[in-house]
Amino acid sequence: MIIEEISVLNYRSIREETLTFEDLTILIGPNGSGKSTFLQALNLFYNTVKSLTVNEEDFYNKDTSKPIRIIIKFYKLTEYELEEFAPYIDRGTLTIEKEIGFNGVTSQERYYGSKLQYPDFQEIRTAIQKSDKRTKYNELRSTPEFNTLPTVSSADGIEANLAAWEKEHLDKLRRIKDDGQFFGFRNVGVGKLERFTRFIFIPAVRDANLDATETKGNIITELLQLVVKKEIERKPELLAFKEETIKKYKELTNPEKLPELPKLQKELNDTLRKFVQSAGVVLNWQEKEDLEIPLPQAYVKLIEDNFEGDISKKGHGLQRAFIMTLLQHLSIARHVDDSQKEQAEEEAKDEEGERKGEIVEIRPNFILAIEEPELYQHPVRQRHISRVLLELAQPSPERDYEMQIIYSTHSPHFIGLDRVEKIRRARKNIAGGAIPETKVKKMNLDKITKELEEIFGKQKEGFTAASLKARLISLLTPYVNEGFFADAVVIVEGEADKAVLFGTLKNPGDLEGKGITVIPIGGKTNIDRCVLIFRELDIPVYFLFDGDKKCESSSKDCNTKYNRALLKLGGVTEEDFPTTRVEKLFACFEENLPAQLKKELSEEIYKICKAEVESLKIGEKQPYFLYQLMECAKSQKAGSKTLTDIISRIVSLADP
């Protein structure tokens, strides 16, 4: 089973929000938007250690009157999992809730499932005293509808009778939260859930050198114990050596062969009886039944470029990759160890005749959550790790387990249009008052295909999510990836348009300072998809395109459908060849941007600047030529009103 969704309530910046999962889920968003809060919520759900207890600051708006609630829905359950959790299954899914309260000093937490039950039985089931439970049960039996319920000699038999009635009246049952005794994780209930799902959390900051030092409680210590030392300790040669050592040790420490022991006893007795004549001392060894033979400690080194060295002397990028490796293998080793113990217990029961039947080998499912996997990695390695994580999230015949992966990132190398449906964008919204709350937006390719059908006027069969994704691959550029992290996006046809915009600005860095990125998309025919994708993630978008008016008088295919579609996308009336206009959502040029510049710059200024830039020996259509042309125009106190208006519209995108 794997996670379908997690709902988080009243936790840190999340008042109430649900995050849906894929095999790979990518969380993006501005700093402080709450991306990592979802990862921390997962960690809180799966862990029961005291170090993860909460305090007042973990509650949304510090409101401790409401509990933190973390609700996870699992799906794709195996037949064995469906059988194990049968009372809690709802249409093939399993939903579990962890509730955490805080009384100002300590936190209290419980796990809940929801069962199909008869609502009127709740009063009996929730009765604390057995006498009350039995009284309420007998009152229920006295009614005509339930007079067939068996009598009970004690309250302990009531639940079985109620469950039997429910089994015969499934149509009257409703899904009701249980009493908080759901079989959860290690040290919680019987830990049943932990047999099927394991969580691995890799935070942004962790000390690789400490993790690799073999001391009590560290990762490498537990990993070596589970994978290596446990097997060594079972070797017949070591067991024989240990037995012989214990035997010789007992012989050497036998009191009968140590005169020093009775001698000391006599001396102590002589001294004690000077104080209390009737007292005495008996001195003997406490016999040692077992003797621990310590195995050698591991000393971990890392190799990079054929050079072996201490972990602390290696780069942070390699250290972080090593941490990911350790944690992944530790989780797998823990599962194998638990499975072996469980199998041994089942085999023991079979031998005692308590249980017969086939022992089921449980296939584990791992959830790997990583905060900023790009940390300390150079771009090439970032792309490689990104691809590895994508591959890890796919089922593989080479593994006997599934790996579901979720990570938060600020790197364009860890997202892309090839995995656009896996992106979730977090942002802060103001909810009714002045307290911001985290909200998440998911990419919906089906919705985008419908919008494309609307703006192009095509029938439903014209676009599909699959065909859209295939068409998005051609737009896969670092510029586009960067747009997912921006506060606002400007889409232009090409590099020349971007150069003119930057040349017009007094300070080109002003846009980046406001979180606005300009994306050259490689032509007018690519604009529509990018605009819809960014809009779908609630990223403000402004786009520019050329009307190509000259095409009207030529014999070429002018492809006017794109002019009409982009105008419709901008919320204005469609036409084949629009005039130059600057609108709230877009701007277009009657011919193209360079032609518009010639119109708006005086002929004299244009000639002066063109002559100045031509000395650089670059073509007029080159982006750098146009950038320098606008720089020259600024120095001549000249400019384009259209471009000035466009920049005002663009800057307003990022305004609160």
> If you write DSSP's letter for every residue of 298-343 in order, what string do you get?
PB-EEEETTEEEEGGGS-HHHHHHHHHHHHHHHHHHHHHHHHHHHH
Distance CA 619, CA 617 (A): 7
Q: How many helices (H) and strands (E) does the chain have?
A: 23, 20
Residue 131: strand, helix, or coil: helix
Q: 349 in a domain, yes or no? A: no
Are residues 514 and 643 both part of a single domain? yes
Instruction: Please tell me whether residues 642 and 602 are part of one structural domain.
Output: yes
Overall number of domains in the chain: 4
Per-residue pLDDT tens over the stretch 278-329 = 888 988 877 777 777 777 777 777 787 777 877 666 676 777 777 777 666 7
Reported confidence tier of residue 184, pLDDT bands at 50, 70, 90: low
Instruction: Report if residue 560 sits inside a domain.
Output: yes
17-38 residue pLDDT tens = 999 999 999 999 988 899 999 9
184 vs 574 pLDDT, higher one: 574
Sign of CA dihedral 244, 245, 248, 250: negative
d(CA 367, CA 38): 13
- On whether residue 239 sits in a domain, the answer given is yes
Q: Strands, E, within 507-591: which ranges?
A: 516-520, 541-546, 581-582, 586-589
What pLDDT band is residue 189 in, cutting at 50, 70 and 90?
very low
Residue 649 sits in the same domain as residue 511: yes
- Report whether 181 contacts 132 (CB < 8 A): no
**Is 456 inside any structural domain?**
no
Full domain range(s) for residue 216: 208-330
Which contacts (CB < 8 Å, 24+ apart) does range 158-161 have?
158/124, 158/133, 158/134, 159/125, 161/137
φ/ψ (deg, to 5) at 6: -130, 130
The stretch 437-464 carries a mean pLDDT of: 85
Among 26-30, 170-174, 642-646, name the one with the lowest average pLDDT: 170-174
66 — pLDDT class (breaks 50, 70, 90): very high
Residue 534 has pLDDT above 90, yes or no: yes
Residue 470 has pLDDT above 80, yes or no: yes
Q: Write the burial class of residue 10 (CB in 10 Å: 0-12 exposed, 13-18 middle, 19+ buried).
A: buried
User: In this structure, are 54 and 35 located in the same domain?
Assistant: yes
Q: Burial, 389: exposed, middle or buried (Cβ in 10 Å; 0-12, 13-18, 19+)?
A: buried
Same domain, yes or no: 383 and 491 = no
DSSP E strand stretches across 547-626: 581-582, 586-589
Q: Is residue 598 part of a domain?
A: yes
Closest of 141, 143, 71, 75 to residue 100, by C-alpha: 71
For residues 501 and 642, membership in a common domain is answered with yes
The letter for the amino acid at 264 is L
Kindly report which listed range (55-64, 126-135, 219-228) carries the lowest average pLDDT score. 219-228
C-alpha to C-alpha distance for 6 and 120, rounded to whole angstroms: 30
Tell me: do 372 and 307 sit in the same domain: no
> In terms of domains, do 323 and 284 share one?
yes
CA distances from 54 to 11, 61, 67, 435 (A): 10, 14, 11, 20
Q: Is the pLDDT of residue 128 over 60?
A: yes
pLDDT digits (tens, 9 = 90+) for 370-413: 999 998 889 998 998 898 888 888 887 777 778 899 999 999 99
| Beta carbons of 217 and 209 less than 8 angstroms apart | no
**What whole-number distance in Å separates Cα of residue 403 and Cα of residue 369?**
10
Sheet holding 586-589, edge to edge: 516-520, 488-492, 541-546, 586-589, 581-582
Determine what percent of the chain is predicted with pLDDT higher than 70. 85
Lowest mean pLDDT among 52-66, 84-98, 344-358, 400-414: 344-358
For residues 326 and 382, membership in a common domain is answered with no
- Which among 391, 442, 381, 455 is positioned nearest to 411, based on CA atoms? 381
- Domain end residue (candidates: 330, 349, 382): 330
Same domain, 162 and 306: no
Do 509 and 645 lie in a common domain?
Answer: yes
Ranking 25-29, 254-258, 291-295, 429-433 by mean pLDDT, the lowest is: 429-433
- pLDDT of 254 reads 81
Write out pLDDT tens, residues 320-368.
Answer: 777 777 666 766 666 666 666 666 666 555 554 444 445 455 666 888 8
The pLDDT value recorded for residue 437 is 95
At 550, the amino acid letter reads K
pLDDT score, position 262 = 87
CB burial readout 425-462, b (16+ within 10 A) else e: bbbbeeeeeeebbbbbebbebeebbebbeebbeeeeee
| Predicted local distance difference test score (pLDDT) of residue 190 | 39
Q: How many CA atoms lie within 13 A of 392 on its CB side?
A: 21
Rounded to whole angstroms, how far apart are CA atoms 27 and 325? 22
- On the question of pLDDT at 83 being above 60, the answer is yes
Average confidence score pLDDT of the chain: 85
User: CA dihedral in degrees (35, 40, 45, 51; nearest 10)?
Assistant: -170
**Which DSSP category does 181 fall into?**
B
- Look up residue 145 and give its DSSP letter: G
* pLDDT at res. 211: 61
Q: Are residues 418 and 442 in contact, defined by beta-carbon separation less than 8 angstroms?
A: no
pLDDT in tens, 259-284: 888 899 899 999 988 888 888 898 88
Residue 125 belongs to some domain of the structure: yes
Q: Report yes or no: 279 and 273 within 8 Å, Cβ to Cβ.
A: yes
Q: Give 656's pLDDT tier (boundaries 50, 70, 90).
A: low
Distance CA 204, CA 128 (A): 46
Integer Cα distance of 529 and 455 in angstroms: 11
CB atoms within 10 A of CB 188: 18
State the pTM of this model.
Answer: 0.79
**Which one of 418, 443, 468 terminates a domain?**
443
CATH assignment of the domain containing 369: 3.40.50.300
Considering the domain architecture, whether residues 586 and 644 belong to the same structural domain is answered as yes
Under DSSP, the state recorded for 461 is G
469 in any annotated domain: no
Q: What is the pLDDT of residue 355?
A: 46
Helices (H), 107-252: 122-125, 130-141, 158-168, 208-211, 219-224, 230-234, 236-252
Residue 581 lies inside a defined structural domain of this protein: yes
Alpha-carbon distance 173 to 8, whole Å?
27
**Structure-block tokens of residue 263:** 């001698």
> Tokens representing 22?
């894929």
- What kind and span of H or E run contains 528? helix 527-536
Sign of torsion over alpha carbons 75, 79, 82, 85: negative
Q: Which of 370, 400, 363 is nearest to 388 (CA)?
A: 370
Task: Say what the pLDDT of residue 149 is.
Answer: 94
Residues 6+ apart with CB under 8 A from 233: 239, 295
